[in-house]
Amino acid sequence: MTPSSLALLDDPHSADNLSGSPDIAGLRGPEDLVRFYREAAGTAPLLVVTNREPVVWKGEGCLSLPPGGVSQTIHRLLSRTGGRWIALRDSGGPDGLRVPGDEGDPGYRLDRMEIPPALMEGHYAGFSNGVLWPFFHDEPSRISGSVEDLVAYREVNRRVAARVLESLRESSPSLVWVHDYQMALVGREMRRSGSALPPLAFFWHIPWVETPVSGGIPRWLGEIVTGLLSYDQVGFQTELYRDRFLETVFALFGSRASWDGETLSVAMEGGIRRIHPGVFPISIDPDHFRMMARDPANTLRARLFLSDLGLDEKRAPGGYLISVDRLDYSKGFLERLDMLEALYALDPSRLGRLSLLQVAPSTRLSVDAYRRYAEAAESRAAELNRRYAKGDWRPVVTVSRSLDPSLLAPLYNLSRGCLVTATRDGMNLVAKEFLASQDGGGSPLFVSRHTGTAMTMEGLSLVDPADPALSARMIHEGLILDPRRVEKKNREALAFLREHNVYRWMASNLVRPLLSASSRSGTLARPA
């Protein structure tokens, strides 16, 4: 970053300039991100807070990386720049781990917080996924949870905040970056301590719903919103979600809140809180997916995998459509199967030829709504298979575990198309992974209009899980479209993704809080 771009901070309304500065727009890979970070933060380490850990402990000296792309990008940055990560423990091993970097890189420290099972149950299954998730995915009938769950959620957030405060006594991070709906109150708990704090940034990964009208705003929602106002910046995936958040703030605070397009100011008991509610659509590393999809060894592995599933060219001559989602009701499994059935009704010649391959690892089975949904989705798939199977061919092939990205990428690439049918989704990275893995190929993506991806990318073929019959027609038309037109669309989408990649996403989240910290302290960070 040049001194002139640092000077942009003098103008408090310069977020667009900041996030659109050439240095950020030009980021393409991990090296660029590390350079950006060094220039913006110098040697001060980043402190990241998440519900889940970025690595899985497999035994002494042996760590593996879970599939999550975003967490891997943050992990790579921290491995290179040093830093600290605080997360709730997912696997065995010691409470504190040194996650090593590659040769010459410092690696980072991972604080793994042990939460007693009953407390964790209330926090994770009870309030996070029994209340917040269904509420913000517009599924009010699936809301469960009790006052005790809210109490557990508060307590876990309080413990995490206490751990962050403890770590601030040991080292001074450039900023604290907290993630997702499971951790909304960490900032509030930190502010309550009265300690001097570095900038606090938060990223809300999921949708924000319309402000409830009938029945008023639940008290817990008021608490979450007030909690979010404790951060200096709250990032959203799309303008729609950011604007809905602002609407909720206005519904709660009325004329005590004002918004100038950059800064939200709210007069609260302790004084005026000023925060930046930003829009930062999350993304992937498209080049990484392209490379994995092109790799001959990966492709061979994918062909063998398909053959094991009965999806080789002989037994499924029309190929397969692919979908990849945790088995979550917000992903629209039932709607997708309805679309598939409607597609067969539109063009029965696809029976015996074109299957749906759904990669559907189970998820959150400690929550009743998830258990019931998994049963419903499985029985609907079984029903289609009973009704339409022909010889060795089945319409629906389900893989109930998550697959490594190096296998997924060629599976996307070899598919006849991809179905993303979420009824609500903060972003949906599967759509982006598919486009990158297609590498300008001729298989179409069909993406639900209720996803952040559909809201933030142009030129995609949209479907609507609320209307499976119409969606089936869109899919039918997409499948018979001249492949050259599909290739053109896919190439354009890939060009967009290469520009709007996960490295740029990270930098645009970090730039404002980092630069405001250096301007506040009167020192501009120097490259390390």
Nearest distance from residue 217's CB to ligand F6P, in Å? 23
Nearest distance from residue 182's CB to ligand F6P, in Å? 7
Q: Are 413 and 439 in contact (CB under 8 A)?
A: yes
Which CB, 263 or 402, lies closer to ligand F6P? 402
| Closest-CA residue to 510 (of 203, 246, 283) | 203
Nearest distance from residue 68's CB to ligand F6P, in Å? 5
Question: Is residue 361 near ligand F6P by the rule CB under 6 A?
Answer: no
Question: Is residue 265 near ligand F6P by the rule CB under 6 A?
Answer: no
Nearest distance from residue 134's CB to ligand F6P, in Å? 13
Q: Cβ contacts of residue 352 below 8 Å, gap of 6+?
A: 390, 391, 393
Q: Which of 89, 364, 394, 500 is the binder for ligand F6P (CB under 6 A)?
A: 364
User: Closest-CB residue for ligand F6P?
Assistant: 205
Which CB, 44 or 367, lies closer to ligand F6P? 367
DSSP assigned state of 264: E
Tell me whether strands 461-463 and 445-448 are parallel, antiparallel or unpaired.
Answer: parallel
Cα angle, residue 120 at apex, residues 117 and 123 outer, rounded to 5°: 155
Instruction: Please tell me the distance from the alpha carbon of residue 492 to that of residue 423, in angstroms, as a whole number.
Output: 26
Q: Are 488 and 204 in contact (CB under 8 A)?
A: no
Instruction: Please tell me the distance from the alpha carbon of residue 206 to that of residue 428, in angstroms, as a whole number.
Output: 10
| Closest-CA residue to 414 (of 316, 288, 496) | 316
Sites for ligand F6P among residues 190-209 (CB under 6 A): 205-206
Which CB, 82 or 227, lies closer to ligand F6P? 227
3-state helix, strand, coil in the chain (%, to 5): 50, 15, 35
Which CB, 233 or 355, lies closer to ligand F6P? 233
Amino acid at 153: Y
Q: Are 276 and 264 in contact (CB under 8 A)?
A: yes
Nearest distance from residue 31's CB to ligand F6P, in Å? 26
Map 218-242 to HEC letters: CHHHHHHHHHHCCCCEEEECCHHHH
Question: Is residue 324 near ligand F6P by the rule CB under 6 A?
Answer: no
Residue written as tokens 């602002």? 246
Q: Which residues make beta-bridge pairs with 234?
A: 202, 277
Question: Is residue 363 near ligand F6P by the rule CB under 6 A?
Answer: yes
Which CB, 144 or 363, lies closer to ligand F6P? 363
Nearest distance from residue 455's CB to ligand F6P, in Å? 16
Site string for ligand F6P, 46-75 (x = CB under 6 A): ------x---------------x-------
Question: Is residue 476 near ligand F6P by the rule CB under 6 A?
Answer: no
Nearest distance from residue 124's CB to ligand F6P, in Å? 7
Nearest distance from residue 203's CB to ligand F6P, in Å? 9
Nearest distance from residue 399's CB to ligand F6P, in Å? 17
Site string for ligand F6P, 103-142 (x = CB under 6 A): ----------------------------------------
Which CB, 78 or 88, lies closer to ligand F6P? 88
Which CB, 205 or 488, lies closer to ligand F6P? 205
Instruction: Please tell me the distance from the alpha carbon of residue 321 to that of residue 444, in angstroms, as a whole number.
Output: 10
Site string for ligand F6P, 149-188 (x = CB under 6 A): -------------------------------x--------
| Token code pair at residue 439 | 């590498």
Which CB, 74 or 292, lies closer to ligand F6P? 74
Residue written as tokens 């659509």? 281
Instruction: Please tell me the distance from the alpha carbon of residue 271 to that of residue 256, in angstroms, as a whole number.
Output: 11
Nearest distance from residue 157's CB to ligand F6P, in Å? 15
Other beta carbons within 10 Å of 453: 28
Which CB, 50 or 358, lies closer to ligand F6P? 50
Instruction: Please tell me the distance from the alpha carbon of residue 449 to that of residue 382, in angstroms, as a whole number.
Output: 27
| Closest-CA residue to 460 (of 322, 450, 470, 468) | 450
Amino acid at 249: V
| Token code pair at residue 267 | 């007069």
Nearest distance from residue 263's CB to ligand F6P, in Å? 26
Phi, psi (degrees; rounded to nearest 5) at 490 = -65, -35
Count of chain residues binding ligand F6P (CB under 6 A): 7
Question: Is residue 263 near ligand F6P by the rule CB under 6 A?
Answer: no
Instruction: Please tell me the distance from the alpha carbon of residue 493 to that of residue 508, in angstroms, as a whole number.
Output: 21
Q: Are 416 and 316 in contact (CB under 8 A)?
A: no
Nearest distance from residue 363's CB to ligand F6P, in Å? 5
Sites for ligand F6P among residues 292-321 (CB under 6 A): none
Question: Is residue 371 near ligand F6P by the rule CB under 6 A?
Answer: no
Where does this chain bind ligand F6P (CB under 6 A)?
Answer: 52, 68, 180, 205-206, 363-364
